[in-house]
Amino acid sequence: MYRILIVDDERLVIKSLKASIDWKEYGFSVIGESTSGKDALEFINKHKPDLVFTDIRMPEMNGLELIKKGKRISVRTQFVVVSGYAEFAYAQKAMLYGAMGYCLKPFDDDEIINILKKVTSKLEKLRITTNTNDYALLDTTSEDNREKLIKLLKDNKVLDSTNDDKVIILVSIGKKELQFSTNVNHIDFRLGTNKYVYIISSDKNQIICDTLDVSEDIESVGMSSMISIDNNMNVYIENATMAAYQFFITGKKGLYNAQNVINEDIDNLVRKLENSVGKKDINTINKILDNISILIKKGDYNIKLIFRMYNAIMSLFYRIDGDYYEKYVYNYEQLTGIFTSADDMVIYLKELINCQLKLKPIYKPEKIKNKTFRDVLQYVNKNYCNDISIQSVSKKFVINPSYLSQMFRKEIKKTFTQYLTSLRMSDACELLKETEYTINEIADKIGYNDYFYFAKIFKKFTGKTPGNYREEN
């Protein structure tokens, strides 16, 4: 039975959360409750609960501080933020501090149950890895841990009189451990199903660079600079982890050195996107995302910034449509499991924004790998205002209509008709807003000969008649 601590400065909230579901049914038991962050921290120090539900705004110590300090005391303890709608930005920030997720007030049973399932999975993985090695030793802010780690390193001949207490940290992302040459002494820690940490003698730097083999079961490897055991190891492990995830930025696996990147103001970036979305200013939206793509290709972003940006943009859509809750990610591994690269992620966000605003979809032909379909898409993008159909396009490119239909579904997840309609409706919206053409003239300009058919499609697409849309815009 996993043990829970509930922290909130309002006892009514604690009572409501306790009564929300049958905790025992899902393998949990509420063993404590607290109305202040300070008292909660003392409880965590004494009892090491498996899971803490914590409010954000509390006296003496807020929820973010509690998560940060609680993680230092007990690496195993998981945190979930309890927040109101107005505190959503804090809830998002809490995930960077190590929170597993958040649940909004008033409480929803299904939401809490989904969170418990995620926490159970995480705790089970930690139970397995804890049996493998004592990864708490990596928290060298504790003098006791530091002494034990140094002894372990000396026993394994990683440290000796020649290199004192200087080491290098490697982090590998993948299913298997790294294989080193016989003259590279090291100790390793498994910190999850796909993450390993290695501590290696500082004088083996060049050997590692020359001989390390990144196999097909290893996505990538990150390497820290030379450090002393006196430093906080967790900071350098995080830096090496971000370096390892550079394969997601560059699209190439390999060995990456930890380095500083531009600390881009993601919150400011998302505010600009939010303003542009509010104005339906698709040109500015695409310029912002294009600039992000450029910075990614230059290597100015790391996985931490990409992770923050993705969740921040998801939070923007959560405010528009609550169904986007499940699209949040809670760790780097989850993000890299969804997308093959950061550039693919930006393309997805572009399509998502365009789809949400019901504007012209941005499918750039140059982004399509299939050359035949790339040519087809380019042709449709240029000729959608003319009288074209899947049959006429098939004939022009000498492709079977059924096969062409499959290509549309496979490459852009839309049918030919859906794509053609979205292009035409985007133009119709702009013409209704920006010109004095009659509705009949607009229908003709975008490829519809039948005014009534156009009006029917337009209402289905926008929820409004062409006349009402013009009046409201």
Tens digit of pLDDT for each residue in 207-243? 888 778 777 778 899 999 888 887 778 888 888 998 9
Banded pLDDT at 392 (limits 50, 70, 90) = very high
* Residues in a beta bridge with 188: 198
Under 8 Å between Cβ of 377 and 363: yes
Query: For the structural domain made of 367-472, what CATH number should be given?
Result: 1.10.10.60
**Packed helices 266-278 and 303-320: angle between N→C axes, nearest 10 degrees:** 30
Check if the beta carbon of residue 315 is closer than 8 Å to that of residue 349.
no
State how far the Cα of 371 lies from the Cα of 454, in Å rounded to an integer.
33
The span from the CA of 464 to the CA of 457, in Å, is 10
User: pLDDT at residue 262 above 70?
Assistant: no
Say if residues 212 and 188 touch (Cβ distance below 8 Å): no
Indicate the pLDDT class of residue 325, thresholds 50, 70 and 90. Answer: very low
Residues 48-96: pLDDT tens digits?
899 999 988 888 888 888 988 887 787 678 999 887 755 666 666 777 6
Q: What is the dihedral of CA 420, 423, 425, 430, to 10 degrees?
A: -160
Secondary structure of residue 125 in the 3-state scheme: helix
Q: Coil, helix or strand for 169?
A: strand
Supply the pLDDT for residue 245. 92
CATH number assigned to the domain covering 2-132 = 3.40.50.2300
With a CB cutoff of 8 Å and minimum separation 6, the contacts of 399 are 372, 376, 393, 407
pTM: 0.53
- Residue 318's pLDDT band, with cuts at 50, 70 and 90, is low
Phi, psi of 30 (to 5 degrees): -80, 110
Return the closest-CA partner of residue 51 out of 118, 130, 129.
Answer: 118
Separation of alpha carbons 123 and 121, rounded Å: 6
Confidence at residue 147, expressed as pLDDT on a 0 to 100 scale: 86
123 vs 428, which has greater pLDDT?
Answer: 428
Question: Angle at Cα 34 formed by Cα 33 and Cα 36, nearest 5°?
Answer: 165
* 8 Å CB contact between 418 and 351: no
- Split at pLDDT 50, 70, 90, the class of 130 is very low
Q: Which amino acid is at 407?
A: M
Amino acid at 26: Y
Pick the CATH number of 135-257 from 1.20.1410, 3.30.70, 3.30.530, 1.10.150: 3.30.70
Whole-angstrom distance, CA of residue 70 vs CA of residue 99: 11
- CA 160/CA 174 separation, integer angstroms: 30
